[in-house]
Amino acid sequence: MTKRKKKKAGAARSPGKRAEPAAKAKKTRAAKKVAKLKKKKLAAEEKARKRALAKKKARQKARVRARRRKRALKALKKAFKVIGAAFAAAALFIFLFYVRDIEVTGNAHETDAEILSSVNAGEGLRDISLIFKLLESRSHADEDSFVERIDIRLKTPWRVEAAVTEKTLSGYAVGSGARWYFDSKGKVRTSVPEGEETAEAEGNALIEVKGIDAEGAAVGESLPGSQSLFSALAYIKSYMDASGWTADCIEAAGNGEIVLVDGDLRINLGSGENLELRLGEMEAILPNLEGKSGTLHLENFDGTQKRIIFEGNEALNEALAALEARGELPTA
């Protein structure tokens, strides 16, 4: 028997052995198919999960945007309300603070119009901007002005007071075509061209002091003269302000004596010592000297003298002597 025949004979004799590989292959294919289906299912589930997560995030973002828009609209409405209220308040403020009356106080040597003009507050400016204009000029120091400062006081919404503080001056000397106004230290604080009129309040007169060399004077510089002279002139100025009596001028003599001139009457106060006593004595005697001409000598008066000399009017001297003899001599 040949080999082929033997082989066929052997195959015919064991059919189970031939069926095992086919079943195994079929089982493998089925397993692969199941695995592929599972993988596909898992991929679909993952894709669905990602879509759901994306939708959730989109909804969250939409809610955040909606809340932001709501807050923004709320803030915008509030801002509009605040702006509207501010405009209404500003309109009411301007309406109420429409200045109808400006009262200037404390100015003795400058007019109300000059004060307002110096701070650019003329008659045409009467709204709230006037107050701010004046407030900007609280400290108003001008070399060519008598004003030291201006304080603004709001009395009512429609009434403003401009309180003026003027420079403290003792008098003026004439020279170089101007009047040079000086203080208690002899320092020139301001000047006015000679011949130009200035305001003069009652009880606050600035009079000329003759005998002081003012040629070449300048604002901020000191005039020639001793400190005792300028201190005495300042005291005399305060006395005249308080008493209401004013001399026509003052002469500062070369020997240091100070002479008050009132018409034809001259009062020699000496070098400035015992001014309080001498001015008091002068005040007591002046009523008896009305209309007289001559010189009242008080340069040596210190309160101990019993005799006052009036030179130039013998009749008056005799009257004073008679008063002295009777013990009726006027005293301060």
Which tens digits make up the pLDDT trace of 59-96? 888 888 888 888 888 888 888 888 888 877 776 666 56
Burial class of 90 by CB neighbour count within 10 A (0 to 12, 13 to 18, 19+): exposed
Beta carbons of 222 and 185 less than 8 angstroms apart: yes
188 and 250: one domain?
yes
pTM, two decimals, is: 0.60
**Residue 213 placed within a domain:** yes
- Our CA angle for 6, 10, 16, nearest 5°, is 165
177 and 319: one domain?
yes
71 and 109: one domain?
no
312 and 240: one domain?
yes
- Dihedral, CA of residue 130, residue 131, residue 135 and residue 136, to nearest 10: -30
Q: Quote the DSSP letter at residue 287.
A: G
| Model pLDDT for residues 289-313, shown as the tens digit of each residue | 888 889 999 999 988 887 788 887 5
Q: How many domains does the chain have?
A: 3
Looking at 141, 166, 191, which one is the last position of a domain? Answer: 166
Given pLDDT bands bounded at 50, 70 and 90, which one contains residue 323? low
**Residue 197 placed within a domain:** yes
315 and 183: one domain?
yes
**Which has the higher per-residue pLDDT, 163 or 5?**
163
316 and 188: one domain?
yes
**Residue 271 placed within a domain:** yes
282 and 177: one domain?
yes
**Residue 132 placed within a domain:** yes
Structural domain span for residue 111: 101-166
Q: Which of 56-65, 80-89, 97-106, 174-183 has the lowest mean pLDDT?
A: 97-106
230 and 130: one domain?
no
pLDDT of residue 223 exceeding 90, the answer is yes
Tokens 């007591």 label which residue? 284
